[in-house]
Amino acid sequence: MADFIASNQYQATLARLANKLQSDLMNGQPAVIGISGAQGSGKSTLASALVQFLRTQGIAAATVSLDDYYLSKTHRQQLAQTVHPLLAMRGVPGSHNIQQAITDANTVLAGTPVSLPQFDKALDEPVAALPAQQYRLLIVEGWCLGIKAQSAAELNLPVNALEAQQDKHAVWRYYVNAQLAGLYADYWRLLKPLIWLQAPDWDCVCRWRAKQEQQLWQRRGKGMNEQQLAHFMQTFQRLTQASWQQLPAVADYIVRLDQQQTPTLLTAD
């Protein structure tokens, strides 16, 4: 990963994007920037690199992941019991404390110090929030940022075996869709501008995520096996595929990724 970040192509794209953000945000007002992209597309890497670049320019910047707003295991188990068993898994809209995310974004936009959350995926629980700080720019990264609710016709057609077998009556996907139409849509409106990392296709996304899991195994000595990962990825497939239809018209900046994740900023100078 370090070699990839150090590549001339990545650094050139990073510099162009950072310069555009600075130009667009010259009014000096606080802003909350979104980075959307599929699993394994490099959202957190880009967010961290942008924060480092902006800080060198004297801009108080920080990044937070949508993952940091995950609900506790107990809360998700309650949803699993009352709505649908698949809601025990973290990931989809409905598994986050989205009201807290909205509150934090508005706090940044108001120029007030904010205490950003943290989620420990190994514990599968929220942990202590960071000390409160005031930021000029907050970069939020998440796999489903900007994606809109789907139509009933789209929801009624399963996109994979998980939906066909474990969500036969579409209860889970209708619940997720309702979340997208509600508070998530309110949150998306606060993320200006929105950057989208455009992956080539679903198969590529699955390969990238599998590579991430291999790296987790190497670092921690544990993780998902191939079958578990395949099941996990199916929960993301519907909305990831929807992103290719929706986000070209929604994103302010599009960074196209090739099979090797080499980035190209498509927005014209």
Instruction: Give me the residue label for tokens 């990931």.
Output: 91
**Cα 20 to Cα 268: distance, rounded to the nearest angstrom:** 10
Judged on CB neighbours under 10 Å (0-12, 13-18, 19+), 75 is middle
Q: Note the Cα 119 to chain centre separation in Å.
A: 14
Cis peptide before 93 (omega within 30 of 0): no
Residue with tokens 């995520």: 209
Structure tokens at 38: 């599929």
Q: How far apart are CA 155 and CA 251, in angstroms?
A: 23
pTM: 0.94
DSSP per-residue string spanning 29-78: --EEEEEEE-TTSSHHHHHHHHHHHHHHTT--EEEEEGGGGBPPHHHHHH
For each of the chain's 269 residues, which pLDDT tens digit applies? 444 555 788 888 888 888 888 887 777 899 999 999 999 999 999 999 999 989 998 899 999 999 999 999 999 999 999 999 999 999 999 999 999 999 999 999 999 999 999 999 888 999 999 999 999 999 999 999 999 999 999 999 999 999 999 999 999 999 999 999 999 999 999 999 999 999 999 999 999 988 888 877 777 777 788 888 899 999 999 999 999 999 999 999 999 999 988 889 886 44
Q: Which domains are delineated in the chain?
A: 2-262 (3.40.50.300)
